[in-house]
Amino acid sequence: MHPNLFRIPGLDWPLHTYGLLLAIAFLAGLWITAREARRAKLDADRIVDMGVWVLVAGLIGAKLLLLVVDWRFYTRNPRELLSIFQSGGVFFGGLAGGILVAWWYARRHKLPGWATADVLAPGVVLGQAIGRLGCLAAGCCYGKPATVPWAITFTSVEASRQVGTPLDVPLHPTQIYESAACLIIFGLLLWLAPRKRFHGQIVLAYVALYSVARFVIEFFRGDAARGLWGTPPW
């Protein structure tokens, strides 16, 4: 686990690994989205613009929901507010933010809804696959204690302080589980795209496949606040 790649000399300003991988995820997702839009004979430039809005909205939504579920911690430790930039946030906040902005953008620019969603889905799941590696580096979204041979042990005191990562305890690498699942889904969506029989088939396949994968992974997850069974803020 390496939450920080290095610190800028003289400024004591760290370059967060999560932030770098998130930027890579954005670029990779947008590249795939543009390629899929051209293949589907849609306005690639408009779709990419939409993708930027959706990705930014998703990031903001994930951070806002993290603040909601952990509001007691942050009100008691206001200095830790900056740590949200190192955490992956709560996925369902990002999903809600992205869907709302996508709906607004599609209506405003009169884009075909289901066809547009189909070209966005592969880029989104590829971004998730890369982003979960950022979670691994930051220490968030960690798993439950495990005795399996591939269990991982975190040792970064900084990550433990910022996102609550258990230290010196072998854990299920749930971040890797989800990253691998997303890569498999990404490959399946690319295979299905030229073979789809109706608009909306790709995004519906994404929702179905990711829902199953995430449901299974949650049984191995220990970071409850950012998971499906998260601790409610009240």
Each residue's pLDDT tens digit, 194-205: 999 999 999 999
Alpha-carbon gap, residue 19 to 12, rounded angstroms: 17
Q: What is the pLDDT of residues 10-21, one digit of tens each?
A: 556 566 677 788
- Mean pLDDT computed over 164-189: 94
- CB atoms under 10 Å from CB of 74, counted, come to 16
91-108 helix and 44-69 helix, angle to the nearest 10 degrees = 140
Tokens standing for residue 207: 């929702």
Distance (Å) of CA 198 to CA 42, 162, 206, 229 = 16, 45, 14, 34
Tokens standing for residue 11: 């400024």
Looking at the DSSP bridge assignments, the partners of residue 7 are 14
- CB atoms under 10 Å from CB of 229, counted, come to 9
* pLDDT-wise least confident of 57-71, 89-103, 171-185: 57-71
Alpha-carbon gap, residue 120 to 55, rounded angstroms: 11
Number of helical (H) and strand (E) elements in the chain, helices listed first: 8, 2
On whether the CB atoms of residues 102 and 120 are closer than 8 A, the answer is yes
